[in-house]
């Protein structure tokens, strides 16, 4: 039988932390912060948190990766966290003014010529 303390330990990966523990139980970005999957994220200035704000290790991982602009889905893949968790953490950083989230263009993106070219390409296969 596995000892209770070993149930939360993956021998190769180390301690397992559940996603809800990383976000303190939150499942949605903070009100007023929209974070789309293909939005671009980049740090602001020196990317230092305001006095009195303590960042977790996941927040610091995000900041390290966002020194150059990166999309939300690529960021989640790079730091190996679920996209929902990353969106919540990004909203935290955005509210503290440490990062900027640049929204991707919204609305219908329909280019009939492009769709026709794709269809022709598929037919050619």
pLDDT tens-place string over residues 33-92:
788 889 999 998 876 777 888 888 899 999 999 999 999 999 999 998 889 889 999 998
Q: What are the residues whose beta carbons fall under 8 Å from the beta carbon of 83, sequence distance 6 or more?
A: 37, 72, 73, 76
Q: How many domains does the chain have?
A: 1
pLDDT at 14: 58
Helix or strand run (H / E) with residue 99: strand 99-102
Q: CA 27 to CA 42: how far, in whole Å?
A: 22
Q: CA 75 to CA 86: how far, in whole Å?
A: 8
Query: What percent of the chain lies above the pLDDT cut of 90?
Result: 31
Residue 2 has pLDDT above 60, yes or no: no
Residue 40: which domain range?
4-124
């Amino acid at each position: 039988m596995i000892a209770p303390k070993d149930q939360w330990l993956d021998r190769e990966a180390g301690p397992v932390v559940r996603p809800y523990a990383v976000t303190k139980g939150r499942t949605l970005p903070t009100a007023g912060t929209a974070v789309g999957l293909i939005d671009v994220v980049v740090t602001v200035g020196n990317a230092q948190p305001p006095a009195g704000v303590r960042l977790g290790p996941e927040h610091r991982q995000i900041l390290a990766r966002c020194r150059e602009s990166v999309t939300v889905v690529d960021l989640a893949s790079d730091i190996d966290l679920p996209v929902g968790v990353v969106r919540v953490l990004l909203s935290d950083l955005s509210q503290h003014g440490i990062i900027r989230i640049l929204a991707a263009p919204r609305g219908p993106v329909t280019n009939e010529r492009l769709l026709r070219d794709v269809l022709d390409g598929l037919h050619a296969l």
